[in-house]
């Protein structure tokens, strides 16, 4: 494809509301010639004064020698000599020539209709990364072939860009080589060009020449044009972003690199504050970003992969600038940002997978480069506590074989800046610790993640903890890349997340926007068939799930080794029929080191005469069987049951309307007519290992419900191969309020060959008001009975004079042996718990207590 000649004078100074400009070629031509001598290059990643120490590191440290050899091997593939070979190397790019072949070629534009292909984009990104590698090797070896490699690549891109339109008057995210996606361009193009320039500038300033594709000859480098390119990327970062999101952080590597590539030291000093502390209407400064890290342990408030990127990129830039200008002391000002890396571990399941919230993922690799940068940042700022932590963590990871410093990270040609050579350039020579750290320490029993409305509860088994431990969360909130989930829940069992969130699909697709991001893809309650969202990020705003009670409180040890509970609330404010109030009490009950179960109590009510509520639960598996008293339940095909949402309008413009609650994607719907009988719903997965794994949900009698069985779309967060299979799901519909007599479901998982501990679940009611459940248990051949009591407020009293129970409070458990003698009494929240002559009085500070008999 030929591009018609369109070389216009570089657009002159373009003033913005904050007085920042897009620098013209002519302006920078003057500054380049008059000020270049003031800046000794390289200066962005490293300085000339550091070279000897890095070479000594390569000579003395085997891991550094290994990195150097890998980097050199990679660069030697493209660092060729001779004009013919230099041309052939450049022609690997997807060049587009003008009709006038005397003009240098341009490159495709990307990520828009009729733009370049994915393969072409990969080659464009790869070539820039090759240029960075060559620049680093020139710095280290001073061999000309590496300088010409980096310089040729840089010159080819500069020539291409100067002939391409800058979409300065376009939409919010308009760019240059990426006309509609500066966010992407900033990471894969804008961030790399200045690094190459910084490394090859000494060669170019000494008269080194570059290969010109148009003339097929060597020529002098065009410094003014290059400076114009760097100035333009600064302008784009400051004027084409989205302020209240992670975008400013993702664009900041391009912003900072291009500022530091300017050859006018006064311009550098002028623009650096726009990263450190001055905001524009389109770009947030580090100071603004740091407002999300006020408290120790805070993480960036987005789904976890975006949160991790924010921490990693920000620590990188803080480290870069504290090296560049030690007087900035950014690491000292914002120590909680590198501190975030200690938080992600405490959110994980016993199998090291992560809770699935928002547009997240189930698993994340530890990025040891981020931890190396955090260590260096701590050293630069004399933060002894963080220095000791990161040193000990990295040393222990190396010793245990989890981390090998001697291998370059695999390249990525996706939307990420290229930092791999810093493994060699920045990493400290030796990581030695006087002590050894457990890199997989016990996680806290409870954790609260406020922005996501998340309460995490754990009960870790001492015997085969990955298989036998319990963990669950309740969550829901409005944040970027969050979902309109309502009050969501996931349940862990037998080494897997069994009760799963739906996850995410492919962005901008119908099923992603109208199912995965909406209520029906989550383990929640849908009220009036119309739970919905409004406002906030892309109109997916919901109220944050509030933590009403949690024992143990976040980070505390707890009063009982076997019991914990949380009560959370959610206001379904944007329900399309009438707002609804939800409350969820989730208890983790450990029986011994191999057995335990979950009790989920969900209240729902709505101020409308025809209210109804649907309890939704998804679990991975090959099949779902629904029985009652060990007999199969007759379910009748019900294809129209959840189809009303399909009739709603999906308004893609501005993402203003969705097909709430998204359950029209349910398939093979079958329903049992209304009944208050008891049900068991058993999910069986045969492909998680050598033995079947089952999760059984016991639904006690006493609440009129219609139970439905459906196949939901696959759950991206399910263990393989269930992330590619339809997801078995059941729903319980109750007509009328479900508050005084709520949903109650006990969940227990087993591996084939084991027996269920729970034998029965019965409601406890007083005058039609739910007070808890009685659970019959058989454990190691012995019978136990547990009375699990829950009330609406702490002043309510429950008495069973015949049995001898007297309880005032919100949550309690009494465990009796086969002789009806108490073995344990747990007061989760309340004033007191009495069983016959045995009494637990609450600690006045925690309103909780425990007695083992």
Is residue 353 within 8 Å of residue 363, measured between CB atoms?
yes
Instruction: Give bridge partners of residue 778 from the DSSP assignment.
Output: 783
CA distance 249 to 775: 51
- Give the long-range contacts of residues 418-422, CB within 8 A, separation 24 or more: 418/128, 418/129, 418/132, 418/191, 418/192, 418/195, 419/316, 419/369, 420/71, 420/129, 421/45, 421/71, 421/132, 421/133, 421/136, 422/45, 422/369, 422/373
Q: Where are the beta strands (DSSP E) in 401-538?
A: 446-449, 454-459, 470-475, 488-493, 496-499, 525-527
- Looking at domain 41-425, what is its CATH homologous superfamily? Chondroitin AC/alginate lyase (1.50.10.100)
- Per-residue pLDDT of 746-800, as tens digits, reads 999 999 999 999 999 999 999 999 999 999 999 999 999 999 999 999 999 999 9
| Domain positions in the chain | 41-425, 446-756, 757-853
Measured CA to CA in angstroms, residue 767 lies from 134, 147, 398 at distances of 80, 85, 63
CA–chain centroid gap for 754, Å, is: 36
Burial class (CB in 10 A: 0-12, 13-18, 19+), 404: exposed
Mean pLDDT of 514-518: 98
Tokens of 781: 């051949």
- Residue-level pLDDT at 249: 97
At 441, give phi and psi (nearest 5°): -70, 165
* Topology alike, domains 41-425 and 446-756: no
Pairing of strands 580-590, 563-572: antiparallel
How sure is the predictor about 633, in pLDDT bands with cuts at 50, 70 and 90? very high
CA distance 504 to 515: 9
Map tokens 């150097």 to a residue: 68
How sure is the predictor about 20, in pLDDT bands with cuts at 50, 70 and 90? very low
- Residue-level pLDDT at 632: 95
How sure is the predictor about 243, in pLDDT bands with cuts at 50, 70 and 90? confident
DSSP at 109: -
Helix, coil or strand: residue 499? strand
Is residue 149 within 8 Å of residue 78, measured between CB atoms?
yes
- Residue-level pLDDT at 27: 38
CA distance 65 to 79: 20
How sure is the predictor about 572, in pLDDT bands with cuts at 50, 70 and 90? very high
First and final CA of the chain: distance in angstroms? 83
The total of other beta-carbon atoms located within 10 Å of residue 423's CB is: 21
How sure is the predictor about 26, in pLDDT bands with cuts at 50, 70 and 90? very low
At 610, give phi and psi (nearest 5°): -105, 35
Helix, coil or strand: residue 52? helix
How sure is the predictor about 293, in pLDDT bands with cuts at 50, 70 and 90? very high
- Residue-level pLDDT at 849: 97
pLDDT at 87 over 90: yes
DSSP letters of 141-208? H--HHHHHHHHHHHHHHHHHHHTS---TTS-TT--SSSTT-HHHHIIIIITTHHHHHHHHHHHHHTT-
Mean pLDDT of 142-167: 97
CA distance 606 to 609: 8
Instruction: Give bridge partners of residue 750 from the DSSP assignment.
Output: 694
pLDDT at 13 over 70: no
| CB neighbour list of residue 255: distance below 8 Å, 6 or more residues apart | 186, 233, 234, 237, 238, 274, 275, 283
The total of other beta-carbon atoms located within 10 Å of residue 656's CB is: 12
pLDDT at 656 over 90: no
Is residue 762 within 8 Å of residue 701, measured between CB atoms?
yes
pLDDT at 103 over 80: yes
- Residue-level pLDDT at 19: 40
| Residue (of 506, 571, 568, 509) closest to 534 by Cα position | 571
Please give the order of strands across the beta sheet that includes 496-499: 446-449, 454-459, 470-475, 488-493, 496-499
Give the burial string for 239-278 (b: 16+ CB within 10 Å, else e): bbbbeebbbbbbbbbbbbbbbbbbbbeebbeebbebbbeb
Map tokens 């998204």 to a residue: 662
Helix axes 384-399, 368-380, angle to 10 degrees: 150
Map tokens 């701590």 to a residue: 378
Pairing of strands 525-527, 612-618: antiparallel
How sure is the predictor about 38, in pLDDT bands with cuts at 50, 70 and 90? confident
DSSP letters of 633-659? ---EE-TTTT-GGGGS--BTGGG-B--
Ranges of H-type helices in 180-335 = 182-185, 193-205, 223-239, 247-261, 265-271, 273-276, 286-289, 304-324, 330-333
| Residue (of 221, 75, 79) closest to 157 by Cα position | 221
H or E segment to which residue 390 belongs: helix 384-399
pLDDT at 18 over 90: no
CATH T-level fold of 446-756? Beta-galactosidase; Chain A, domain 5 (2.70.98)
Lowest average pLDDT, out of 31-45, 440-454, 662-676, goes to 31-45
The size of the chain, in residues, is: 853
pLDDT at 465 over 60: yes
Measured CA to CA in angstroms, residue 424 lies from 51, 56, 70, 377 at distances of 12, 12, 11, 16
- Give the long-range contacts of residues 267-274, CB within 8 A, separation 24 or more: 267/23, 267/31, 268/39, 271/20, 271/234, 272/321, 272/325, 274/20, 274/238
| CB neighbour list of residue 434: distance below 8 Å, 6 or more residues apart | none
Burial class (CB in 10 A: 0-12, 13-18, 19+), 754: middle
Measured CA to CA in angstroms, residue 365 lies from 344, 397, 427 at distances of 11, 13, 19
- Residue-level pLDDT at 169: 86
CA distance 839 to 832: 7
Average pLDDT score, the chain: 94
| Residue (of 84, 220, 190, 203) closest to 128 by Cα position | 190
pLDDT at 730 over 90: yes
Please give the order of strands across the beta sheet that includes 623-628: 546-551, 563-572, 580-590, 596-606, 738-751, 693-699, 679-685, 623-628, 631-632
- Residue-level pLDDT at 776: 98
Is residue 445 within 8 Å of residue 458, measured between CB atoms?
yes
CA distance 28 to 49: 28
Mean pLDDT of 838-848: 95
pTM of the model: 0.92
| Residue (of 346, 412, 340) closest to 371 by Cα position | 340
Map tokens 């400051």 to a residue: 238
| Residue (of 434, 496, 424) closest to 63 by Cα position | 424
Give the burial string for 142-152 (b: 16+ CB within 10 Å, else e): ebebbbbbbbb
Tokens of 32: 């380049």
CA distance 716 to 305: 15
CA distance 372 to 823: 50
Helix, coil or strand: residue 671? strand
How sure is the predictor about 191, in pLDDT bands with cuts at 50, 70 and 90? very high
Mean pLDDT of 351-380: 96
Is residue 210 within 8 Å of residue 218, measured between CB atoms?
yes
């Amino acid at each position: 494809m030929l591009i018609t000649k369109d070389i216009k004078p570089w657009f002159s100074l373009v003033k913005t509301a904050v007085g920042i400009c897009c620098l013209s070629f002519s302006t920078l031509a003057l500054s380049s010639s008059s000020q270049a001598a003031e800046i000794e290059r390289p200066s962005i990643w490293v300085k000339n004064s550091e070279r000897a120490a890095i070479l000594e590191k390569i000579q003395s440290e085997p891991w550094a020698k290994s990195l150097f050899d890998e980097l050199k091997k990679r660069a030697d593939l493209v660092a060729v000599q001779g004009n013919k070979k230099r041309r052939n190397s450049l022609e690997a790019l997807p060049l587009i020539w003008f009709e006038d072949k005397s003009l240098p070629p341009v490159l495709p534009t990307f990520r828009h209709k009729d733009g370049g292909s994915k393969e072409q984009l990969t080659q464009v990104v790869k070539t820039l990364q090759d240029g960075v590698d060559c620049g680093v090797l020139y710095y280290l070896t001073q061999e000309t072939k590496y300088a010409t490699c980096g310089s040729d690549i840089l010159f080819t891109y500069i020539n291409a860009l100067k002939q391409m339109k800058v979409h300065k008057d376009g939409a919010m995210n308009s760019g240059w080589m990426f006309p509609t996606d500066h966010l992407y361009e900033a990471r894969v193009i804008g961030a790399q060009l200045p690094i190459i320039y910084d490394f090859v500038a000494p060669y170019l300033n000494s008269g080194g020449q570059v290969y010109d594709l148009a003339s097929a000859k060597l020529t002098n480098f065009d410094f003014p044009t290059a400076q114009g390119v760097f100035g333009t990327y600064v302008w784009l970062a400051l004027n084409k972003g989205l302020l209240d999101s992670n975008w400013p952080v993702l664009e900041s590597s391009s912003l900072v690199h291009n500022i530091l590539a300017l050859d006018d030291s006064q311009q550098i000093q002028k623009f650096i504050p726009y990263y450190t502390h001055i905001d524009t209407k389109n770009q947030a400064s580090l100071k603004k970003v740091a407002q999300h890290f006020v408290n120790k342990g805070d993480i960036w408030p987005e789904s976890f992969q975006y949160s991790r990127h924010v921490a990693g990129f920000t620590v990188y830039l803080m480290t870069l600038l504290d090296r560049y200008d030690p007087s900035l002391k950014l690491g000292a000002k914002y120590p909680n940002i590198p501190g975030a890396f200690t938080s992600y571990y405490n959110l994980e399941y016993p199998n090291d997978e992560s809770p699935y919230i928002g547009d997240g993922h189930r698993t994340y690799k530890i990025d040891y480069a981020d931890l190396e940068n955090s260590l260096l940042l701590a050293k630069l700022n004399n933060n002894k506590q963080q220095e000791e932590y990161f040193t000990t963590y990295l040393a222990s990871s190396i010793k245990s074989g989890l981390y090998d410093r001697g291998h370059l990270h695999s390249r990525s040609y996706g939307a990420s800046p290229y930092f791999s050579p810093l493994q060699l350039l920045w990493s400290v020579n030796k990581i030695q610790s006087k002590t050894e750290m457990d890199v997989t320490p016990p996680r806290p029993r409870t954790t609260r993640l406020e922005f996501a409305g998340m309460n995490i509860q754990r009960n870790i088994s001492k015997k085969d903890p990955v298989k036998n431990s319990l963990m669950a969360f309740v969550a829901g909130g409005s944040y970027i890349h969050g979902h309109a989930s309502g009050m969501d829940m996931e349940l862990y069992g037998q080494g897997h997340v069994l009760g799963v969130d739906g996850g995410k699909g492919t962005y901008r697709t119908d099923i992603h926007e109208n199912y995965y991001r909406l209520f029906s893809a989550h383990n929640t309650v849908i009220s009036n068939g119309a739970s919905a969202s409004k406002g906030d990020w892309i109109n997916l705003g919901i109220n944050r799930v509030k933590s009403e009670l949690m024992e143990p409180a976040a980070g505390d040890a707890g009063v009982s080794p076997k019991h914990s509970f949380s009560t959370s609330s959610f206001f379904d404010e944007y329900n399309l029929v009438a707002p609804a109030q939800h409350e969820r009490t989730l208890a983790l009950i450990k029986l011994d080191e191999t057995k335990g179960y979950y009790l989920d109590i969900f209240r729902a009510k709505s101020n409308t005469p025809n209210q109804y509520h649907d309890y939704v639960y998804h679990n991975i598996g090959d099949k779902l069987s629904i029985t009652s008293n060990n007999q199969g339940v007759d379910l009748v095909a019900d294809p129209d049951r959840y189809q009303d949402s399909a009739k709603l309008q999906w308004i893609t413009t501005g993402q203003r309307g969705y097909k709430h609650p998204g359950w029209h994607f349910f398939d093979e719907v079958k329903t049992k007519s209304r009944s208050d009988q008891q049900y068991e719903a058993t999910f069986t997965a045969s492909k998680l290992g050598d033995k079947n794994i089952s999760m059984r949900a016991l639904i006690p009698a006493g609440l009129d419900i219609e139970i439905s069985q459906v196949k939901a779309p696959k759950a991206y967060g399910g263990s393989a191969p269930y992330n590619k299979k339809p997801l078995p799901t059941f729903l319980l519909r109750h007509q009328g309020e479900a508050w005084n007599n709520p949903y109650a479901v006990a969940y227990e998982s087993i591996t084939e060959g084991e027996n269920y501990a729970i034998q029965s679940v019965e409601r406890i009611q007083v005058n039609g008001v739910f007070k808890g459940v009685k659970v019959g248990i058989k454990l190691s051949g012995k019978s136990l009975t547990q009375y699990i009591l829950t009330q609406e407020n702490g002043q309510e009293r429950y008495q069973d004079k015949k049995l001898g129970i007297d309880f005032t409070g919100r949550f309690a458990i009494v465990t009796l042996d086969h002789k009806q003698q108490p073995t344990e009494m747990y007061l989760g929240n309340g004033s007191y718990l009495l069983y016959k002559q045995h009494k637990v009085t609450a600690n006045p500070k925690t309103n909780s207590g425990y007695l083992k008999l």
